[in-house]
Amino acid sequence: MTRRIVMLGAFGLAVVAAWLVFNPVGQVQSLIDGTGEEATGPAPRGQSEVSVRDLVRTVESTGTLELSSERTISASSTGVVTNIAPLGTRVERSVALFEVDDYPTVTLVGDIPAWREMTVDSVGPDVEQLERNLVAMGYDTTGELTVDETYTDFTAELVEQWQTDLGVDATGRLAMGSVVFVPEDSSIVDVLVSIGDSLTGGETALVSTASETRTVEVVVPTSELDSLAVGAEVTATLPDRSTITGNVRSLSPTGDGTWMASVPVVDTEADSDASELPEGESVPVTVTWTEQLALGVKTVPANALSRLDNGSYVVEVVVDGGTEFVEVSLGAQVGSAVEIEADLQSGTVVVTP
């Protein structure tokens, strides 16, 4: 078989290479008969090398830089306003914003608004946000709480302890309206009712809060959820081409098939090329982040690969006196770089068209 390839000469080798690149080359399977079959001839048309590298994909999306995180807190209950926090109050964890018929609505820190009752077996990012607050307030004294999206019996036990300290019924569940989540570093900027006012049902706005922390709100398509996680770093490019960086604090569904990532940012020279972040309520930004697909893997250019009829792939390796075909398994791909698994060393020369 080696003799047959030698007799093909330069013209025959070029034809074989063309078949390998442009055809499902099952027709040439008999010439290579697996891996390692030598094919002598003149120097190939182009060459590259097997390299070891990280494969990292850059994802781009849109977002806005929010210069203030104002939130209006409403109540849907009926009754009389018996207490309300004064203007300028710093809103921290477990602060009573107001009381209706002596029952308080208290605050926790978070970007995802409270939108439902939370109880055992509730699942969602709002549950994880609650559990982070319970840990921050010191209720997980034994370190047994798994901070995740599932409301467990142990979560309920910690909630009961918190409710006892608040002086409310220790039910272990959080009824809608008993808790509100507000962004970090918030304070009350407007008080919309007075003590003694009657609430007659429906949504009644009581107070407004605003956060001093500026945030980038990033649109995350559902298809990209696996590429971005809480804690990941993102870079936002402003209209003036300056950039700011931050780490994802929360991910929450928007209800329209996408998710929103909230990224607190700080206006410092380390985070921005601009001396000041622009004025205005919000600024459109382009946001990028990276996804690590594979670390320290062997790669070849995509055009060094040829597909056989049986579905396997080969690369043509330059050896002393000619070339040989080596079967490879494929992994991740970024741009023209493709991860391969094969008994080839970094620096091995391969043929490219």
pLDDT tens digits, residue range 322-336? 899 999 999 999 989
Percent of the chain with pLDDT over 90: 60
DSSP string spanning 106-150? EEEE-SSPP-S-B-TT-BSHHHHHHHHHHHHTT--TTS----SSB
DSSP string spanning 253-270? E-SSSEEEEEEEE--STT
Find out whether 216 and 66 touch, Cβ atoms under 8 Å: yes
Residue 297's pLDDT is: 93
Find out whether 249 and 111 touch, Cβ atoms under 8 Å: yes
Q: Going by C-beta distance under 8 Å and a sequence separation of 6 or more, which residues neighbour residue 156? A: 119, 120, 172, 173
- Domains recognised in the chain with CATH numbers: 2-56+294-352 (2.40.420.20), 58-67+213-291 (2.40.30.170), 74-211 (1.10.101.10)
Does position 116 have pLDDT exceeding 70, yes or no? yes
Local confidence band at 149 (pLDDT 50, 70, 90 cut-offs): very high
Residue 278's pLDDT is: 64
Structure-token match 């319970």, residue found:
134
Query: Of 66-75, 177-186, 205-214, 222-231, which gets the smallest average pLDDT?
Result: 66-75
Residue 327's pLDDT is: 94
Secondary structure, 3-state, 147-203: CCCECCHHHHHHHHHHHHHHCCCCCCCECCCCEEEECCCEEEEEECCCCCCEEECCC
Query: Of 90-94, 272-276, 291-295, 330-334, which gets the smallest average pLDDT?
Result: 272-276
Structure-token match 């091995």, residue found:
348
DSSP string spanning 4-60? HHHHHHHHHHHHHHHHHHHS-GGGGHHHH-SS-EEEE-SPPSEEEE-EEEEEEEEEE
Find out whether 331 and 341 touch, Cβ atoms under 8 Å: yes
Local confidence band at 77 (pLDDT 50, 70, 90 cut-offs): confident
Section 190-212 average pLDDT: 91
CA terminus-to-terminus distance, the chain: 24
Residue 266's pLDDT is: 64
Relative to beta strand 179-182, strand 103-109 is parallel
Here the tokens at position 232 are: 């990941």
Residue 178's pLDDT is: 95
d(C-alpha 210, C-alpha 67), whole Å: 10
Residue 213's pLDDT is: 76
